[in-house]
A and B are shown apart, each in its own frame.
Chain A
Amino acid sequence: MSFEFFLRESWTGFRRSGIMSVVSLVTITVSLVVFGAFLLAVANLGNIASIIGSKMEIAAYVDKNIDDSSAAAISLQISAIEGVESVKFVSKEEAWKNFRSDYEGRLALGEIISENPLPNTFLIKVKSPQATSAAAKKISNMAVINEVRYSGNLADRFQSVLDLIRVSGFILVALLIIATLLIVVNTIKLTVIARQTDIYIMRLVGATNSFIKWPFIMEGVLIGLIGAALSFIILKFSYDLAVHELQDFMPFIPLITSGYRLFWIYISVSAIGVVLGMLGAYISVNSLLKGD
C-alpha cells in the first residue's frame, strides 16, 4: 500500500504547488534540452574529428596526363620514401567516375561542368600521423608532383577547437545544472511549507521522518521524470529534423544516426533529469525537516 500512497501524495503535492511546479518543470526541461543538444553536438564533432583523423592520407596531384607505366614508376618512387605505407593511383577518369557516382542525383554535375576537372591522384597512406608532414614534404619535392594535400593539420586544429567546445560546454552545463537544482530545491520547499499542517499532523499521529520525506522526494523525481520525457521528445524531434535537413544540404558531413549512440545520449540526459529532481527534493526536505 505504501508505494501507492506515496505516489498519490507526491502527485497531489505536484498539483498543489501549481505555478512553481510548472516553473521548475520548464527549467529542468530547458536545461536538459541544452545539455542534450550539447552532448549531441560534441558527439557529432568528435565523430567528424575521428573520421578526419582516420583519413590520414596524403594526396599528391599530377596535372599532366600520365600513362599506367609511368604511374607505376611514380608509385614505386613514393613507396621508397620513409614513413609511407602504401600508395594507390587514381587516374583522373577514375576519380571523375567516382565523384559522379557519389553525387549522382544530388548535383546535376553534367550540366554545370562538361570537362573532367580532376587531376591524376596518388593516395598515400602513412604509417603514423607523425610521419605525415615529413613524407608530404619529400613527395612535394618530386618534380612530377604539382601539389600535395594532407589533412593532418586540419585534424589537429579541429581537435583543439573540439576540446575548447567541450570545456566551455561543460562549464555551461554545470552552471545550468546548479541553477536547475536550486529551482527544484525552492519548488519543493514551497510544497513543504504549504503542507506544514499536514506534516504537523503526520508527526502527531506517529509518522517517521522518512515517511514524511518520501512523498516530497518522489515529487522531485516526478518533476525530473516529466522534464526528462519532455526534453527527450524535444531533442529527438529536433535532432531528427536537423539530420534530415543537413543530409539534404550538406551530404558530406558525417552525422551520427546510429540508434545505439543516440540511445545512450538520450538515456544520460533523462537520468540527469531524474537525479536532479531527486537531489533537489532531498536537499530541500532535509534542510526543512531536520530531525524532529
Chain B
Amino acid sequence: MIVLRNVSKIYPKGVEALSNVDLCIGKEEFVFIVGPTGSGKSTLLKLLYREEFATNGQVLLDRVNLSEMKDSQIPFLRRNIGVVFQDYKLLPNRTIYENVAFALQVMGASRSFIRRHAGQALELVGLFKKANCFPGELSGGEQQRACIARAIVNNPPLVLADEPTGNLDPSTSWEIIHLLDKINKRNTTVIVTTHNKSIVDGMRKRVIALEAGRIIRDQQLGVYSNVL
C-alpha cells in the first residue's frame, strides 16, 4: 500500500529530516515508528498526507506518486487518510459532534449521512454521550478519542497517528492504543509514531526505528529498543 523509495527530505533551511529512506507498508498493517525527537518520524507521516513532499525519491500510496500529485488533488487524497495528532487539533468552538461531522461536511455529505456516520464514529470511540460537549469540557484522553473519531468517520483505509499518547497518562495512553488497534482490526492500516516504550513493547507489532532521518531497524513483533 505504501512504498517509499530512496526518500530524502531536506527542509528549506537545510535541515535533513529524512535521508535515503526505503520502506514498504502493506494493507491493514499496524506499524509503530519510533525514535527520539527530531529523528524524522513526523516528517515521514507528513509525506504521506502531503503536508510536505519529498526532496528526492518516490513516495507511493496505492501506486500513486505523491510527489507528482497536483495540488488540486490533495483534498481527495486526504479524504482517504485519517490523521490523529498529539494536540488533538479539535475546533474549540464546536461541539464534539460538530467536530466529527465537520470532516464529512467538507466532503459535501448529506445531512442524514453525516448524522448516521458521526454517531457511529462517536459510538466506536465511546464518546456518544459527550457528543454535545465542547472540547474544553473533556479530558485529554476524551479529546484524543474525539480526534480519532474525526479521523475515522469517513472510513479511510489509512490512519496516521502522530504521537497520539504524547500528552496522556499511561492508562489513558493504553486506552488510545487499544482503540487504534480496534480500528486496525476493522481492516484499516494504522501507522503510529511514538516514543512510549512500554506501549511498543507491550503491543508487539511491527516496529520501524528512525535515527537522524535513517531507518536503523525494521522488525516484525518488535520492541522499542534492542539496546538493553
Contact = CB atoms under 8 A, between A and B. Distances in A.
A113 interface: no
Interface stretch (B2-10, B30-38, B100-108, B196-204): B100-108
B91 A201 contact: yes
Interface string B80-121: 000100000101000000000011011111110010000000
B75 A203 contact: yes
B71 interface: yes
B108 A2 contact: yes
A28 B103 CA distance: 35
A206 B82 CA distance: 10
A207 B75 contact: yes
A194 to B, nearest CB: 11
B145 interface: no
Contacts of A193: none
Interface in A1-32: 1-2, 5
B214 interface: no
B115 to A, nearest CB: 11
A1 B105 CA distance: 8
Contact of B111 (A1, A205, A292): A1
What class of interface size applies to chain B in its complex with A? 20 to 34
**Most central of B103, B106, B109, B111 by chain A CB within 10 Å:** B106
B41 interface: no
A201 B102 contact: yes
A198 B91 CA distance: 7
A206 B78 contact: yes
Given A1-B110, A207-B106, A201 B75 contact: no
Looking at A2, A5, A204, A208, which has the most chain B CB atoms within 10 Å of its CB?
Answer: A204
A202 interface: yes
Contact of A205 (B71, B79, B108, B114): B79
Contacts, number: 51
Contacts of B206: none
B102 A205 contact: yes
B105 A204 contact: no
Contacts of A130: none
Contact of A204 (B49, B71, B111): B49
A101 interface: no
A200 to B, nearest CB: 7
B74 interface: yes
Interface string A208-230: 11010000000000000000000
Is the contact region of chain A dominated by helix, strand, or loop, or is it mixed? helix
Give the secondary structure class of B's interface: helix
A258 interface: no
A292 B72 CA distance: 8
B78 A197 contact: no
B75 A206 contact: yes
Contacts of B75: 203, 206-209, 211
B106 A206 contact: yes
Interface in A235-292: 291-292
A198 to B, nearest CB: 6
Nearest to B103: A205
B102 A204 contact: no
B105 A5 contact: yes
Contacts of B72: 208-209, 292
A204 B108 contact: no
Interface string B50-74: 0000000000000000000001101
Interface string A35-74: 0000000000000000000000000000000000000000
B85 to A, nearest CB: 9
Interface string A178-194: 00000000000000000
Nearest to A205: B103
B96 to A, nearest CB: 14
A208 B73 CA distance: 9
Contacts of A202: 102, 106
Nearest to B113: A1
B92 to A, nearest CB: 8
Interface string B131-155: 0000000000000000000100000
Interface of B: 49, 71-72, 74-79, 83, 89, 91, 102-103, 105-111, 114, 150
Given A201-B91, A204-B89, A206-B75, 15 more contacts: A1-B105, A1-B108, A2-B108, A200-B89, A204-B83, A206-B78, A206-B79, A208-B72, A208-B75, A209-B72, A209-B75, A211-B106, A211-B108, A292-B71, A292-B72
17 contacts: A1-B110, A1-B111, A198-B91, A200-B89, A201-B91, A202-B102, A204-B78, A204-B83, A206-B75, A206-B78, A206-B79, A206-B107, A207-B75, A208-B72, A208-B75, A209-B75, A292-B74
